[in-house]
Amino acid sequence: MAVARARPTLEAVAQRAGVSRATVSRVVNGSTTVAEPIQQAVRRAVQELGYVPNLAARSLVTQQTDSIALILPEASTRVFSDDQVFPGIILGVSRELEAAGKQLVLTLAESAASHERVERYAMGGHVDGVLFASLHGVDPLPGALARTGLPVVCGGRPLGESPVPVAYVDVDHIGGVRGAVRHLLDSGRQRIATIAGPPDMVAGIERLTGYRAELREAGRRQIVALGDFTRESGAVAMRELLDKDPNLDAVFVASDLMAHGALRTLREAGRRVPDDVAVIGFDDIELAGYTDPPLSTVRQPIQDLGRTMTRQLLRLAAGERIEPVVVLPTELVLRRSA
């Protein structure tokens, strides 16, 4: 029967290196006050013995956990669905944290009870900072955590007032949508509708704002139905739009997943895309290139959003000053649907 080998201790490393336990502790915890030859001796002993620092004890010394929380106030069925926005953000965050030697703690907070649990966890010193993405409504949690001095960065502009300013990284929703609607106008479309996103999310609000602004300037009628960024809501909203205006000839859809549902409804209604109705989505997830026909869309830099949020948070946690607002550009990608 195999017997587990005892883990090498700090004392064993000190004995091997010929230094004190306190010196080993300083080297392991990244101190720069130890002479280079001694640091080399300690590192050599660590490698020879296979010593692994006790992270719990280390955090007591450094007051750091080397862990960052990413909080998504969403149901798990939504986060792990075929909407590739969430995986893209998570991938961007995790790659940036890996490069910095930090650990990602992914937390879903879809209910009031889970919000309280997350707040207790973050305030309990378990993480060095918190990232938020996909905020709904006026969520008090980012401001409450920031007020305690914990570094906080949001993906998307937080709605409502906050007790302290909260830094955020967002994309140019309004400019991206205006460019898409302008393309539809310039291509001769006369009756341009939209399937808007949830009115309790900044992405839903600002994408609808961009649509309204462009049509208002063009003196065109606005035809609006609401969805919730899911495929099924896009299908239902498209049926509603066809009931409102059977002669509509274009639709801007506030997410690619909703646009996929809208394409299905148009096909069932006997409308050809783009001959009868042009369709443009938003996000440029992988699905957009495989719809029938391939979907024109506004590309947002999803992974870069996660990476930029993380860089901002790490700088904030290091005590550096950061720009409180960063807005990333979008790009219109034209395919056969428009």
* pLDDT tens, per residue, the chain with 338 residues: 343 445 677 788 888 889 988 888 778 766 667 888 888 898 888 888 777 665 445 544 445 678 899 998 877 777 777 778 888 999 999 999 999 999 999 888 777 777 788 888 877 778 899 999 988 888 888 988 888 888 999 999 998 877 778 999 999 999 999 999 999 999 999 999 999 999 999 999 999 999 999 999 999 999 999 999 999 999 999 999 999 999 999 999 999 999 999 999 999 999 999 999 999 999 999 999 999 999 999 999 999 999 999 999 999 998 899 999 999 999 999 999 99
What is the rounded distance in angstroms from the CA atom of residue 152 to the CA atom of residue 141? 10
pLDDT at residue 263, rounded to an integer: 98
With 0-12 CB in 10 A as exposed, 13-18 as middle and 19+ as buried, what is 243? exposed
SS3 call for 115: helix
Amino acid identity for residue 294 in this structure: P
Residues β-bridged to residue 107:
71
CA 79 to chain centre: 11
Alpha carbons 273 and 83: distance in angstroms, whole number: 23
Closest CA to 211 of 224, 198, 226, 227: 224
Q: Is the dihedral of CA 290, 291, 294, 299 positive or negative?
A: negative
* d(C-alpha 150, C-alpha 180), whole Å: 39
Which residues, including other chains, have CB under 8 Å from residue 43's CB and lie 6 or more apart? 27
Tokens describing residue 242? 């066809």
| Cis-peptide into 293, omega within 30 deg | yes
The amino acid occupying position 295 is L
In whole angstroms, give the CA distance from residue 200 to residue 159: 9
What stretch of H or E contains 45?
helix 36-49
Cβ atoms within 10 A of the Cβ of 172, count? 18
Residue whose C-alpha is closest to residue 220's, from 198, 244, 192: 192
Q: Would you state the structure tokens that stand for residue 252, as one six-digit string?
A: 């801007």
Beta strands across the sheet bearing 223-226: 223-226, 192-196, 250-253, 278-283, 296-299, 331-333
pLDDT of residue 92: 95
Please name the residue ranges forming H helices in 155-201. 173-186
**pTM (two decimals):** 0.79
Rounded (10°) CA dihedral 119, 120, 123, 127:
-90
Q: Strand runs (DSSP E) across 91-151, as ranges?
A: 103-108, 129-133
| pLDDT value, residue 333 | 98
Rounded to the nearest angstrom, the gap between the alpha carbon of residue 8 and the centroid of all alpha carbons in its chain is: 40
Cα separation, 33 vs 27, whole angstroms: 9
The first and second tokens of residue 263, run together, are: 């394409």
322, 163 contact by CB (below 8 A): no
DSSP, res 197: -
CA distances 168 to 25, 134, 153, 209, Å, are: 37, 12, 5, 20
Gap between the Cα atoms of 69 and 312, Å rounded = 14
